[in-house]
A and B are shown apart, each in its own frame.
Chain A
Amino acid sequence: MSQLSSTDTPIAALPGDALRERAVDQLRAELGDALIDTLVKPGDDVWVRVRADAWHDAGIALRDVVGLDYFCFLSAIDWMPSPFGRGEDDPTQPQAERDMTIRQGYTGGETRFQLFARACSTTLHFGVTIKADIGDDMTMPTWIPCYTGANWHEREAHEMFGINFAGHPDLRNMYLPSGFEGHPMRKDFPLLARMVKPWPGIVDVEPLPGEPADDSDADGGES
């Protein structure tokens, strides 16, 4: 049955950065100034950021022009630092003051919430991570016409971040009970398990008092 195996066919060359640069050029030609920022990390990956109103067109362009046939995922990021830190506070003490400046990641951004998605090519063997700022109305066009598989991912982003997808046929909750209030993946939604009692695991990563910083033990601080 070896005719069904396909490593005998010549394998496409592993993706070079030229391929990623070309994808960026194609997107720029297709979207014009709706393509806000791009970042090509050599030997790693490519990030692009588009205007929110061009989200749908960008999806179509990725699929038809760049040739990314395989839908990977779609989700959102809340760039606001958590007011609860990493849950290391003692809940019996008053809450600590924290730096709450919103600082976006690669390719920048202007809003607290960003939508990001990824699509790959199964023949050219590279992928593109695409981002878009979400405005105050928290509404984005749906990606279902571009990639059908975005359906469930958008449902998840809807309940976890409170993003509405215009044109989505069925934005029911997937994980949470239907009457649930709040959006758990937002940074200002507290992780209740950390609110009721101090987390014991956090002490492990701090050096013990009076002990010199020890770099010889490479066990990462889990002992």
Chain B
Amino acid sequence: MTMLGDRQRLAYIASQAADARLNVELETEGMTLNIGPQHPATHGTLRIICRLDGEQVVWAEPSAGYMHRGYEKLTEVRTFPQVTSLVNRIDWLGSFANEVPFILAAEKLMDIEAPPRAQHIRTILFELSRIANVSLFLGDLGVQLGAITPVFMAFRDREYVLNLIESATGGRFHPNFDRIGGLKDDLPKGWIEETRSVMRKLRTFCDEIDDLLFGNEIFQSRTRGIGVIPKDVALQYGLSGPNLRASGVDYDLRRDQKIAMAWDKVDFKVWTHPDGDSFARCWVRLQETREATLIVEKLLDTLPAGPVMAKVPRIIKVPEGEAWVSTENPLGEMGYYVVSKGDLGPFRVKIRSASFNNISIVPWLLRGVYVPDVITILASLYFILGDIDR
């Protein structure tokens, strides 16, 4: 495994060196290209400053911060139950997943645990937000390469998932459904049957994308071998989620940690890919979406009966202490380091969001690539601006 990685890396370095030599011979004049802050290929207001030599990027620097909302500061003036409405908006495409680790951290400090049914429903909604998030990525991927059709399919099928989330929680994008000690409400009538049929539709969508995009020759030639991230570099930069697994690291927090959620109740595959290129990152996400639909179905099969809310006081005071909880969010590892002083609100919350680390590799990764590949590499890294800036 290490041998393969080394050989890949050497081949990559050699190809870059050959290109650089060519440029020295041609002595092309450098120029600076500003991609963003408003640019169709950047998913929000991420600005990337590239210094070019001919068609090649010699230096690139992402400039984040156009959407900084200061959530870490704002949490210090809110009470614990009020924080979920803030952290909802970090990764706005999979917002339910943002609430979970914070609530789990607060529950850890209070030494309570949600009832089994609540844990199950939390996990189901978590996986639904993963599907809603990543299915949009799969459609968007086509747009970055000039294929318009997949994005319409993605928006069509994501709507089914959003309808499910809306009928259970009342909010399409910002559910704010998680409570300390459980959930606000139980599932509505008929929801389980509806979810099963939607999961089947989503698997069909995954198959369509697999045929239409991943089997496409243009797609493969634009992504295979492009933007290779070796395993050790990915770990050094703290890449997480599908980006890390696409570099061959078998690490998934759903499986690899003890947490008060229902993932340990079901059997599922963690998908990895040894290549670490753009194609691998997209491929791992596709497999994960399909796997998530299966996880949801298995969880629905084993849904226990019982209450969805533990007994918690009306005025929530969290005992003094520090807790770190992170979960495998659609974009990667998202965690909250919560410091409480026994007050109504947290003393300090450090939000570790996945995209912040995932994007910090961009200056390293874009060095030496060609300009059109900048767009595919950024698309395959898959970031949400709110998740970078917080």
Interface residues of A (CB under 8 A from B): 4-7, 9, 11-12, 14-15, 43-45, 47, 69-73, 75, 77-78, 81-82, 86-88, 103, 105-106, 116, 118, 122, 125, 127, 129, 147-149, 151-153, 160, 173-176, 184-185, 191, 194, 199, 201, 205, 207, 213-215, 217-222
A-B contact count (CB 8 A): 168
B314 in contact with A4 (CB, 8 Å): no
The minimal Cβ–Cβ distance linking A206 to chain B, given in whole angstroms, is 8
A71 in contact with B238 (CB, 8 Å): yes
Is B77's CB within 8 Å of the partner chain A? Answer: yes
Residues of chain B within 8 A of A43, CB atoms compared = 258
Question: Given B77, B238, B251, B343, which contacts A73 in the complex, CB threshold below 8 Å?
Answer: B238
Question: Given B77, B249, B268, which contacts A122 in the complex, CB threshold below 8 Å?
Answer: B249
Q: Quick one: closest A residue to B264, CB to CB?
A: A14
A219-B64 Cα distance, complex, nearest whole Å = 38
Given contacts A7-B255, A205-B344, A220-B316, contact A72 B238 (CB under 8 A): yes
A44-B364 Cα distance, complex, nearest whole Å = 35
Q: Which of B245-264 contact A (CB under 8 A)?
A: 249-251, 255-258
Question: Given A4, A70, A153, A205, which contacts B79 in the complex, CB threshold below 8 Å?
Answer: A205
20 further interface pairs, Cβ-Cβ under 8 Å (given A5-B287, A105-B339): A4-B272, A5-B271, A11-B255, A45-B323, A69-B232, A69-B235, A73-B238, A75-B337, A82-B76, A105-B321, A116-B337, A118-B337, A147-B238, A148-B364, A152-B356, A173-B65, A218-B181, A218-B182, A219-B179, A220-B181
Residues of chain B within 8 A of A14, CB atoms compared = 256-258
Given contacts A125-B257, A194-B77, contact A220 B389 (CB under 8 A): no
The minimal Cβ–Cβ distance linking A74 to chain B, given in whole angstroms, is 9
Given contacts A6-B250, A43-B258, A86-B344, contact A220 B312 (CB under 8 A): yes
Is B39's CB within 8 Å of the partner chain A? Answer: no
Residues of chain A within 8 A of B357, CB atoms compared = 71, 73, 149, 152
Question: Given A47, A78, A122, which contacts B251 in the complex, CB threshold below 8 Å?
Answer: A122
Residues of chain A within 8 A of B326, CB atoms compared = 72
Q: Quick one: closest A residue to B313, CB to CB?
A: A215
The minimal Cβ–Cβ distance linking B19 to chain A, given in whole angstroms, is 24
Residues of chain A within 8 A of B70, CB atoms compared = 184
B236 in contact with A149 (CB, 8 Å): yes
Residues of chain B within 8 A of A71, CB atoms compared = 235-238, 357
Given contacts A205-B79, A218-B314, contact A72 B72 (CB under 8 A): no
The minimal Cβ–Cβ distance linking A136 to chain B, given in whole angstroms, is 21
Interface bracket on B: 35 or more
Interface residues of B (CB under 8 A from A): 64-65, 68, 70, 72-74, 76-79, 81-82, 108, 179-182, 184, 232-233, 235-238, 240, 244, 249-251, 255-258, 268-274, 287, 309-316, 320-324, 326, 333, 335, 337, 339, 341, 343-345, 348, 350, 352, 356-357, 360-361, 364, 389
A5 in contact with B270 (CB, 8 Å): yes
B314 in contact with A72 (CB, 8 Å): no
Q: Quick one: closest A residue to B274, CB to CB?
A: A4
Residues of chain A within 8 A of B244, CB atoms compared = 70, 122
B314 in contact with A214 (CB, 8 Å): yes
9 A-B pairs whose Cβ atoms sit less than 8 Å apart in the complex: A7-B269, A118-B337, A125-B256, A148-B236, A152-B356, A175-B65, A176-B65, A194-B77, A205-B79
Residues of chain A within 8 A of B333, CB atoms compared = 72
A77 in contact with B339 (CB, 8 Å): yes
A72-B323 Cα distance, complex, nearest whole Å = 15
The minimal Cβ–Cβ distance linking A177 to chain B, given in whole angstroms, is 9
Given contacts A215-B314, A218-B181, A220-B316, contact A149 B73 (CB under 8 A): no
A152-B389 Cα distance, complex, nearest whole Å = 12
A86 in contact with B343 (CB, 8 Å): yes
| 7 nearest A-B pairs in the assembled complex, by CB-CB distance | A87-B77, A71-B238, A175-B65, A149-B237, A149-B238, A122-B251, A175-B68
Q: Quick one: closest B residue to A9, CB to CB?
A: B250
Residues of chain B within 8 A of A175, CB atoms compared = 64-65, 68, 389
The minimal Cβ–Cβ distance linking A41 to chain B, given in whole angstroms, is 9
Q: Quick one: closest A residue to B363, CB to CB?
A: A151
A191-B75 Cα distance, complex, nearest whole Å = 11
Question: Given B233, B272, B322, which contacts A5 in the complex, CB threshold below 8 Å?
Answer: B272
Q: Quick one: closest A residue to B64, CB to CB?
A: A174
The minimal Cβ–Cβ distance linking A86 to chain B, given in whole angstroms, is 5
Question: Given B315, B337, B360, which contacts A151 in the complex, CB threshold below 8 Å?
Answer: B360
A221 in contact with B81 (CB, 8 Å): yes
A147 in contact with B314 (CB, 8 Å): no
A110-B287 Cα distance, complex, nearest whole Å = 49
